[in-house]
């Protein structure tokens, strides 16, 4: 009898964006990404056509101080639309423009004549060793084996991922502060620790998730399969 091949150890759950002014951030990102604002039990969640389209906007006390190590790539009809929503232009780069949201967080805007209804299409993560960290996440989430080229590695083919791919981009500077954008997964945290993740904070009290860091220090939250929906 042929042994059934096991799947990846984790499944993508949702995305989280930290902000000082969560009302302003939610208003901006809901329109910029084509999502709706939901308020479960006093929290702010942006929702779309599937559970995985969920983006939680989290209140934090600290203002942004360094360049985002994780940023969103967004399609848009025009830069003016985003500026009207509260974004600011930073610099044009080839076929995209670096912008900041109302909280000061960088993102890249790609102008299209007919942008889709849902406008997030890539998540970009700065890395000191793109090939190694991309391979790690491909194994954890089940994506295609990444190919390194021109300073970056893409991880595509992740089941239920509501955007095209993760891009791990080579940068010279190390990570210094907590990421203001992170993703959540459903998994056994012990298995991810055995694969090289670090446990930063175990779930406790009314906190249903564990906080881990990947081998390059990027924080992510892990929900056990038995945990309920929400945060």
Tell me the per-residue pLDDT of 113-143, one tens digit each, with 9 for 90 and over: 999 999 999 999 999 999 999 999 999 999 9
Give the residue-averaged pLDDT of 150-168. Answer: 95
Q: 133, 103, 152: which is closest to 218 by C-alpha? A: 133
Helix residue ranges per DSSP H, the chain: 22-33, 79-85, 130-141, 189-194
CB neighbour class for 162 (10 Å; exposed up to 12, middle 13-18, buried from 19): buried
3-state secondary structure of 111: strand
CA 175 to CA 35: how far, in whole Å? Answer: 30
Q: What is the CATH number of domain 14-223?
A: 3.10.180.10
Residue ranges of domains in the chain? 14-223
User: For 180-229, what is each residue's pLDDT tens digit?
Assistant: 999 999 999 999 999 999 999 999 988 899 999 999 999 999 999 976 55
Q: Show the tokens assigned to 190.
A: 């012990």
């Amino acid at each position: 009898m042929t042994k059934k091949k096991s799947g990846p150890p984790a499944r993508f759950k949702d995305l989280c964006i930290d902000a000082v002014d969560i009302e302003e951030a939610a208003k901006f990102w809901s329109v910029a990404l084509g999502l709706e604002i939901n308020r479960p039990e006093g929290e702010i969640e942006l929702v779309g056509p599937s559970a995985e389209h969920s983006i939680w906007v989290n209140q934090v006390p600290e203002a942004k101080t360094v360049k985002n190590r994780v940023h969103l790539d967004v399609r848009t009809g025009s830069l003016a639309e985003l500026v009207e929503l509260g974004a600011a232009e930073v610099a044009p780069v080839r076929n995209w423009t670096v912008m900041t949201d109302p909280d000061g967080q960088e993102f890249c805007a790609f102008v299209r004549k007919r942008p889709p209804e849902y406008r997030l299409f890539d998540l970009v993560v700065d890395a000191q060793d793109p090939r190694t960290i991309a391979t790690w996440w491909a194994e954890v989430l089940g994506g295609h084996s990444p190919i390194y080229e021109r300073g970056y590695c893409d991880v595509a083919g992740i089941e239920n991922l509501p955007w095209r791919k993760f891009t791990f981009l080579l940068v010279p500077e190390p990570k210094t502060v907590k990421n203001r954008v992170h993703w959540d997964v459903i998994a056994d945290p012990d298995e991810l620790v055995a694969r090289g993740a670090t446990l930063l904070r175990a779930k406790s009290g009314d906190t249903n998730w564990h906080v881990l860091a990947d081998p390059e220090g990027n924080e992510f939250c892990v929900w056990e399969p038995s945990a309920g929906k929400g945060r």
